[in-house]
Structure 1
Amino acid sequence: MSSFILTAWVALAVAAISPGPNLVAVASRALGSGRNAALHVAAGLATGAFLWSFLTAVGLGALFDTYPVMLRLMGLFGGAYLFWLGLKGWRAVLTGQGGQIAPAIGQGARQDFLHGFTVTVTNPKVALLWASLSTFVGSEIADWPALLLFTMGSAIIAFFIYGTYGWFFSIGGIRDLYSRFHAASEAIFGTLFCGLGMVLVHRSL
């Protein structure tokens, strides 16, 4: 297995664990309607991750093969974006903003699934993240087995992380616990994003 694919999966996992619209989508359903509704949302998020990983490997990868200079430019842009996300996390820590998750009532399995899918495929943060990851894997997906491995692996990572969040937030009293440690999580993931961004920029120079 390519080390670049592993690196992309690590970056995906860090992004999935960190606070953002995807986390809010699954956590709000868990708080409002329990574990099953949250898992339906998580399945939608995982399906979105499958789609984004496929487009990353096939569409953006082919584009970078045709225009190699775009790979370098995207690496610089993507690294700067990840670094900005890190700074945004630290700003939330210093200002005390963010971390507010309101309960949301589930709308049924199909609607909850579509809600998760729609959130992740229309989220600019997710789109730019996958564009950044394409700089790792764009030239590494050379055949269908590698493509299947990358896309299925990405979907499994997303479902595992968001499903765990769904289970976690469905437990009574977790909302208060999350609010208590939100600042610490923002600081940790802000630091990780800053580090990933600097690595990506360095590789692209």
Structure 2
Amino acid sequence: MTLILTAWIALATAAISPGPNLVAVASRGLGSGRRSAFLVAAGLACGAFLWSSLTAVGFGALFQAYPGLLRLLGVLGGGYLLWLGIKGWRAALTGEGGQIAPVSGRGAARDFLHGLAVTATNPKVALLWASLSTFVGPALKYPGLLLVFICGSAAIVFVIYGTYGWLFSTGRMRRVYRRFQSASEALFGTLFGGLGAVMVHRAL
């Protein structure tokens, strides 16, 4: 259980930090409110369920056999975040093409699938789960522990992104975001760019 708890702490830390998952749920919260944001968060949680399930089918062994794949994911994920950082700063300077912009909901199924698609194609998430699988995979030999890890991971992701969704759906947050939109874009651009630079540096 110690390895599982450590993996959950790493997962929570990564989920709290900026990335495409946060952009997806915050944009829906700003544009359509709490329900739409929660549906996106549910899709993200389902993605975490699927990613964590891969720990049972040798996902970690693949990266142990081919460590270069982890470096490749680090470069791809870091490069993607650097691009988001540049995009955020461009939006701060020009007022166009913001990272977190109000997005209207598209119905329950499409909002849920949007969250699932974002986390399934997110290089940052792929790198996280690749790293976690090499770390915690050997501890998940028993079905009971595997089930606990999978369900716990999904719950952590839903709680964190659901909280973000609730926060960005409040009227106060919407007013604050509109008032300080340029500063917010600069902040997120800096966070995205900094995290991306760290990921690329570690990979190289």
TM-score by length of 1: 0.74
User: Does the CA-based 8 Å contact 2:25-2:165 persist in structure 1?
Assistant: yes
Which range moves more in the overlay, 98-107 or 132-141?
Answer: 98-107
User: Does the CA-based 8 Å contact 1:74-1:131 persist in structure 2?
Assistant: no
For residue 179 of structure 1, report the CA deviation from its aligned partner: 5.7
User: Does the CA-based 8 Å contact 1:40-1:112 persist in structure 2?
Assistant: yes
Change over 3 Å in CA distance of 1:7–1:29 after alignment to 2: same
**Other-structure match for 1:32:** 31
In the alignment, structure 2 segments of 5+ residues that lack a partner are: 92-97
CA distance in 1, matches of 2:99, 2:12: 22
**Other-structure match for 2:166:** 167
In the alignment, structure 1 segments of 5+ residues that lack a partner are: none
Aligned pairs for 1:52-201 (under 5 A) are 52-61=51-60, 63=62, 69-70=65-66, 84=78, 88=82, 92=85, 96-97=89-90, 100-172=99-171, 173-176=175-178, 180=183, 190=194, 194=198
Which range moves more in the overlay, 131-140 or 180-189?
Answer: 180-189
Q: Secondary structure at the match of 2:99?
A: coil
Aligned residues between the structures: 193
For residue 84 of structure 1, report the CA deviation from its aligned partner: 4.3
Q: Secondary structure at the match of 1:138?
A: helix
For residue 188 of structure 1, report the CA deviation from its aligned partner: 6.8
CA distance in 2, matches of 1:155, 1:187: 28
Q: Secondary structure at the match of 1:36?
A: helix
User: Does the CA-based 8 Å contact 1:82-1:129 persist in structure 2?
Assistant: no
CA distance in 2, matches of 1:8, 1:97: 35
Which range moves more in the overlay, 135-144 or 155-164?
Answer: 135-144
TM-score by length of 2: 0.74
| Offset from partner CA, 1:129-149 (integer Å, 9 cap, x none) | 211221211212111111111
For residue 107 of structure 1, report the CA deviation from its aligned partner: 1.3
User: Does the CA-based 8 Å contact 2:20-2:118 persist in structure 1?
Assistant: yes
The two structures, once aligned, show a CA RMSD in angstroms of 3.5
User: Does the CA-based 8 Å contact 2:31-2:103 persist in structure 1?
Assistant: yes
For residue 111 of structure 1, report the CA deviation from its aligned partner: 1.4
CA distance in 2, matches of 1:170, 1:152: 26
CA distance in 2, matches of 1:39, 1:147: 26
CA distance in 2, matches of 1:7, 1:81: 25
2:53 aligned partner, one-letter code: F
**Other-structure match for 1:21:** 20
Change over 3 Å in CA distance of 1:84–1:7 after alignment to 2: farther
User: Does the CA-based 8 Å contact 2:89-2:189 persist in structure 1?
Assistant: no
User: Does the CA-based 8 Å contact 1:19-1:186 persist in structure 2?
Assistant: no
**Other-structure match for 1:12:** 11
For residue 69 of structure 1, report the CA deviation from its aligned partner: 4.3
Q: Secondary structure at the match of 1:139?
A: helix
